[in-house]
Amino acid sequence: MSLPPILVAQNQVSTGVDQFTAALVSYLNHLGLPTDNVLVPIQERQRVIGNLPDVIGSIDLVKRGESLYISKFIAACGAGLFDAALNFIWDETVVNLRKKVARFDLEYFYDSVITDATRRSKLRGEEDLVKIEEWELVRGCHVTGILSDIGYRHLDYIRDMRNWASAAHPNQNELTGLQLISWLETCLREVISKEPEPAAIEVKRFLHSIRTQVLAEQDAQHIRVGMERLPVDIIKSLLRAIYGMYTADNTSIQVKTNIRLVGAKCWTLAPDETRYECGFRFTTFAENGENVRKVLAHEFLQGVGGLGYLSPDSLAVEMSACITALFNAHSGFNNFHNEPAHARNLSAYVPANGQIPESVRVPYVNTLVMARIGNGYGISEMAVPKYQDMISRFGEEEFVVFVRLLTDRQIQARLALRNCSSLFKQLAMNFLPLTANQVTKNALSAIVGSTDQHLPNLGRETSYVRILSAY
């Protein structure tokens, strides 16, 4: 009984591999060239050749007829050059990934993978994909959903192995035939023969709608619900994308309106690391003198409630201006009417964890406390909820500033006014169970134990000064 044609051809190749290797080694010996570690062992090559039919069976015949890279892969494996074979399959994988990115959404991809605003501005079209490092290409395809989690892990490993077994690191003899054929199968299954993940397709449609449609609130509601089903990595890259679109100086008013309808939901679903990344880009725009983009970034962050995620330096600058404006409003004419707007502005910059830049901590606590205890005629009732919200986020550093306020002449004068001292003592009472610092506890206890008449002078007393000196 005769063998099937494929097995006949396979046996002929295996025999040819043996003959080629013997002839090549003899030729190298005649030339006085090294023969060790040039070609991988014959049995490893035969493992690749023996398993190839099953692996490439997943490719339809039309595409197979165009797959020159597989022919080169097989030729390199038969010759015993596994490093070259790995290069052929990896290069084809990279080309295929670039094609998928170009066909999917270039702007989304660039916004997702490139966080440096200066570098991002230089990446526009498909031809710029060659400027992306291979590790960035693989990671970017993962975060945009073109690659699955498993596909990303496998491809990143193959990329490492390809670099490790390159001409610069001649370790190909440590690669086995089964490893190589497995990597070919992975590249075929996860990239070359596969379309993007469903989540990526959904994001593509969403971004297309943002760019081309006039969205109504009902449309946006469906999109917001859809966002809740997306993996967190997709949400992270989606936030980068819409933030990049919003801050581009050529984005239309309609696109920005669409983004405002869904931006807050995306922001809520994104992790803190991506939110802080957006805040840092505001700083980058400011430092580079990109004033239009800086204004747009501020507008976006304000709209999603993200001003508290600015970088410390930018946050300090913005908060300082708001603190000064609030202090002036509190100290000026018609303060009860004017304070609420300034309180809202300042509150927008306070992070959820309450951590504010050290450079503005003293004026921040001072101004909030003065506004909260009032000026003797009362307090701005409309602003109180914002004051309470910000004060509720005080931490140990703010408590220390608070107890030291009693040494400030302006606070001492304010505490002499009616009702102000009792409100100040109420704040101290609220802080007392929140601190673990014994010095702070002692200072707060001294405040709570003082009478309203005695409190304005407490900061001058030796016993209280001695408590503070323990810091």
The b/e string for 56-85 (b: 16+ C-beta within 10 A; e otherwise) is beebeeeeeeeeebbebbbebbbbbbbbbb
Amino acid (1-letter code) at residue 405: L
445 contacts: CB under 8 Å, gap ≥ 6: 432
Confidence of residue 143 (pLDDT cuts 50, 70, 90): confident
pLDDT digits (tens, 9 = 90+) for 379-392: 999 999 999 999 99
Q: Count of residues for the chain?
A: 471
pLDDT in tens, 443-462: 999 999 999 899 999 999 99
pTM over 0.95: no
Summarize pLDDT for 32-65 with one digit per residue, the tens. 777 776 677 888 888 888 888 888 877 777 777 7
Higher pLDDT, 172 or 297: 297
Arithmetic mean of pLDDT, 204-223: 90
* CA angle 186–189–191, rounded 5-degree value: 90
Q: Which residue has the tokens 């040819």?
A: 16
